[in-house]
């Protein structure tokens, strides 16, 4: 149902990093579009010393995950395209007054169950500027995690990078989703910021592969 609220759960190395409610904009056989409003109440893992989850080796984390604390999404409003059966999502990021800032490609593996979208992050990402210039992001961290059982094997790493290269070709060709569509999107005025949902039922996700 368009406008319905779903829950986007991001896992890093098998452990929950954040859980934030998003609104369904559109769903077709090709995939779905979600709206993530800046300032949305959410949950995030409470980590020691302000560390980031990706910097804590999985073997040093609690087996059942870290506790959650309430927070708010602060990285900017975004329209998210999740293509069906693809190993990536594309974000249109918007700044002040909903001005389009550029695209962000998150390489990932998704599982849908009920109102939850569980996303296993693949670390390696791509930024695409408004002029379609692009660059890889977090290549070093991606390489360091390759081969760890909580992340991905050498063969899986090659598949993840190949997925990114396919998306880069779309950006270079200025093909969808980099064709200029949706860059002026504004959510309906009757959509309030979603309330903070119940915490997700699990904070640990077994490595699903690429």
Does residue 35 contact residue 20 with C-beta atoms inside 8 Å? no
For 7-27, give one letter per residue: b (16+ CB within 10 A) or e. bbbbbbbbbbbbbbbbbbbee
Decide if pLDDT at 36 tops 60. Answer: yes
Banded pLDDT at 49 (limits 50, 70, 90): confident
Q: What domains can you pick out in the chain, each with its CATH number? A: 5-173 (2.40.380.10)
pTM of this prediction exceeds 0.85? yes
What is residue 176's predicted lDDT score, i.e. its pLDDT? 98
For 32-53, give one letter per residue: b (16+ CB within 10 A) or e. bbbbbbbebebbbbebeeeeeb
| φ, ψ at 32 (rounded to 5°) | -135, 155
- Which two structure tokens, joined as six digits, stand for 66? 């870290």
Residue with tokens 């949706």: 182
DSSP H/E element including 128: strand 116-128
pLDDT digits (tens, 9 = 90+) for 144-166: 999 999 999 999 999 999 999 99
Rounded Cα distance between 115 and 163, Å, is: 26
What is residue 1's predicted lDDT score, i.e. its pLDDT? 61
| Number of Cβ within a 10 Å radius of residue 92 | 24
């Amino acid at each position: 149902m368009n406008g319905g609220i779903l829950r986007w759960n991001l896992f890093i190395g098998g452990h929950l990093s954040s859980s934030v409610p998003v609104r369904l904009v559109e769903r077709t056989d090709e995939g779905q579009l979600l709206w993530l409003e800046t300032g949305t109440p959410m949950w995030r893992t409470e980590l020691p010393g302000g560390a980031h989850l990706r910097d804590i080796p999985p073997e040093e984390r609690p087996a059942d995950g870290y506790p959650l604390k309430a927070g708010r999404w602060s990285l900017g409003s975004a329209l998210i395209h999740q293509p069906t059966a693809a190993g990536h999502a594309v974000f249109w990021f918007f700044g002040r007054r909903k001005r389009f800032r550029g695209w962000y490609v998150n390489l990932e593996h998704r599982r849908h169950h009920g109102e939850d979208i569980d996303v296993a992050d693949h670390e390696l990402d791509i930024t695409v500027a408004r002029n379609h210039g692009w660059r890889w992001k977090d290549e070093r961290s991606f390489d360091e995690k390759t081969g760890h059982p909580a992340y991905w094997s050498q063969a899986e790493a090659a598949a993840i990078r190949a997925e990114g290269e396919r998306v880069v070709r779309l950006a270079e060709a200025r093909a969808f989703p980099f064709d200029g569509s949706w860059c002026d999107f504004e959510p309906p005025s009757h959509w309030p910021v979603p309330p903070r949902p119940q915490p997700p039922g699990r904070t640990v996700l077994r490595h699903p592969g690429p």
